[in-house]
Amino acid sequence: MTESPYTMRLSLNVLEHLGINLYSNVPSVLSEVVANSWDADALKVTIAFDKTADRIVIQDNGTGMTETEVNARFLTVGYRRRDKQPGQTAKGRAPMGRKGIGKLSLFSIAECIDVETAQNGEKSAFRMLLSAMRKAIEDDKGMFRPEPRDKSAIDFSHGTRITLSKLKKRQTISTSEGLRKRVARRFSIIGPENDFEIEINGKTITPADRGYLDRIRYLWTYGDQSAINPLCTQVEASEDRTEAVGGRDITLSGWLGTVAESHQLRDDFGENLNRIAIFVRGKMAQEDVLGDFTERGLYATYLIGELHVDDLDKDEGPGGERDEDAATSSRQRIVEDDPRFLEAKKLISTELKHIQNAWAKLRSDEGAKKALEIPAISEWLSGLEPNLRPRARRWLGKINRISVDDPEERRQLWKHSVLAFEFYRWGENLDRLDEIDEANIEGAIELFTELDSLEANLYGQIIRQRVEVIRALRTKVDENALEKVIQRYIFDHLWLLDPSWERVEASEHMETRVEKMFETVNTRLTKEEREGRLDIQYRKAAGKHVIVELKRPDVRVSVYPLAAQIAKYRSAMAKVLEDMKLDNEPIEIVCLLGKPPTEWENPDGRRIVEETLMVQQARYVNYDQLLENASQAYSDYMKHKSAVDRLSKIIREIEEYAGPDA
């Protein structure tokens, strides 16, 4: 048998980590092949896949390769194109390839790879079979010779065709439309203006195939976005921020936008579009950078964007400008501590803060306008004292920031927002509305969204029920049944601790995880700590993970060991949330004591206790104080029963309103 003219050297470790395990999806792999076609000055790339034939074929009309170039470039793992072929391509393109490992990614989705290439009529064809490659590397100390194939099937004079077969089962392609969207989202150089066309199963990809540009309502642009703007057909407000990011060490271009409803950031194929992609030289370098910013408000759940940071790749090879490669080995992320990336993220962070404020105002103005289209709300607003109307408008606008897609749910939300305003107005506490921000707005009106009858909507039923709970609790306390009653009522009625903790949200899975965590932590408590506890429970309410620590009524503890004890629970809870990728959600710990901590009566003792617990984001509540506060709050509500008739009419008319945008 004639020895193969093709030679490849690599280790099993390189094959496993930079090939088989490099990528997790088909679009990522195909993007590497498309990038190679771009670097080869191809004008067109065609991708054809047939699920029944278990095969993907990618072909371009680029320069192709000679046999010598196949060995020197394609089969050389780690071939550094910038060193051997510095500067731009013959067509003046900025090359995307850099490390020379992208071709190995093909093995992450296929067992068999056939390569056919031609340059000026010189043709080469070979096959790489993963099983044969593994065996050869083991037997021949890293040497693998791809199997030569028949060249007669090559029906082109220049370009490259790669056929992937024996596709791995964990890799799936649903439809050509789904693949077209995913590839379109990975490149910004597709289209006639760049002389680069990608075709999938006979249909050409266009920028519109990204599938989200026509969903954007508010748009912020950086640099010339004339190619994108016409595709954003639903934009109601836009702002050019080019000057705001100019004059920096890092040049930023692209766009950021928000959609009307958060559900629009989930496409028909289940892909999450709530992200900001980073592009370098026209190719996606990192799928999402939004997750790197921890200070995120509600606006971020509506956000999507494509930002280009070409300063992350200035390597032009020998004689040209050189820099460190900012991409990780996986080619799917940017090195986190790269100084240029850190500088870019500072700039992005500043822009996100600007967008947060601008979005809040835009949504508020839109929300107030939409609410006032309902005659009953317009009438209600007109009936308020003149000095209260601006506050009511701001409140209606703030409510609009809550993501509600169904018109009926939106009607209910307007109804509850009116009730919430009246609730705080009756209590002469409208300043609370100004304190409510987008992060806790849903929790703030939680009290009003669980009411399921007109009487309940007007506080009658819910107030009577709660007053009865408080009275029953007071009776049992007086009967010396405090321990059992406190345990049952506190965990069943979290609103006794905080009115916004109306609805328990945690799943059974989450409850089980936390219970196991409690068991683990309890083994680390001292005997005295365990004996002093009545119970400890976990709930999730109003977006918070709440831990309630109950001490026996006759136990008096020092705040310092108490703080140390709850620190163990906070640390363990944080680990649970981190494991479940919920570490951005807040934790609150409530210590319910029969007697105040021993330091309470000391000079400045109250401040010491509160600050010591505050370090752990915890607070202390006394049993008697709990009952008194709850009783006083709900008895005050009963004084306003006289407003029932007036609000009944408003609520009924809101419910009956049939406007298209209610």
**Which tokens hold the place of 97?**
């390839």
pLDDT in tens, 250-286: 899 999 999 988 888 988 777 889 999 999 999 998 9
pLDDT in tens, 292-332: 887 677 788 899 999 999 888 876 555 555 556 555 544 56
Distance, CA of 135 to CA of 457 (rounded, Å):
73
The greatest distance separating any two alpha carbons of the chain, rounded to the nearest whole angstrom, comes to: 100
Taking alpha carbons only, the member of 343, 314, 346 closest to residue 327 is 314
* Count of C-beta atoms within a 10 Å radius of residue 53: 11
pLDDT in tens, 181-203: 999 999 999 989 899 999 999 99
pLDDT in tens, 94-110: 888 765 556 777 888 88
Q: Is the pLDDT of residue 1 over 60?
A: no
Please give the C-alpha separations between residue 460 and each of 216, 470, 639, in angstroms, as whole numbers: 43, 15, 11
Q: How would residue 65 be classed by pLDDT, with cut points 50, 70 and 90?
A: very high
Kindly tell me the burial class for residue 5, based on how many C-beta atoms sit within 10 Å of its own C-beta (0-12, 13-18, 19 or more): middle
In the chain, what are the domains?
8-204 (3.30.565.10), 211-349 (no CATH), 372-459+644-656 (no CATH), 476-638 (no CATH)
**Which tokens hold the place of 498?**
């905080």
Distance, CA of 519 to CA of 497 (rounded, Å):
25
The phi-psi region of residue 65 (left if phi > 0; otherwise alpha if psi is between -120 and 50; otherwise beta) is beta
Which pLDDT score is estimated for 481? 55
pTM of the model: 0.63
Using only the alpha carbons of the chain, give its radius of gyration.
Answer: 32
* Count of C-beta atoms within a 10 Å radius of residue 493: 17
* Mean pLDDT, all residues of the chain: 79
Distance, CA of 368 to CA of 419 (rounded, Å):
16
**Which tokens hold the place of 169?**
């089962």
Q: How would residue 82 be classed by pLDDT, with cut points 50, 70 and 90?
A: low
pLDDT in tens, 540-552: 877 788 888 877 7
Taking alpha carbons only, the member of 245, 252, 242 closest to residue 311 is 252
Which pLDDT score is estimated for 458? 46
Q: How would residue 457 be classed by pLDDT, with cut points 50, 70 and 90?
A: very low
More confident residue, 65 or 15: 65
Which pLDDT score is estimated for 59? 97
Q: Are 121 and 157 in contact (CB under 8 A)?
A: yes
pLDDT in tens, 480-519: 555 556 666 677 777 777 766 755 565 666 777 777 777 7
**Which tokens hold the place of 350?**
């500043």
For the chain, what percent of residues have pLDDT higher than 90? Answer: 26
Distance, CA of 291 to CA of 312 (rounded, Å):
19
Q: Is the pLDDT of residue 453 over 50?
A: no
Identify the helix (H) or strand (E) that includes residue 84. Answer: helix 81-84
Distance, CA of 312 to CA of 322 (rounded, Å):
11
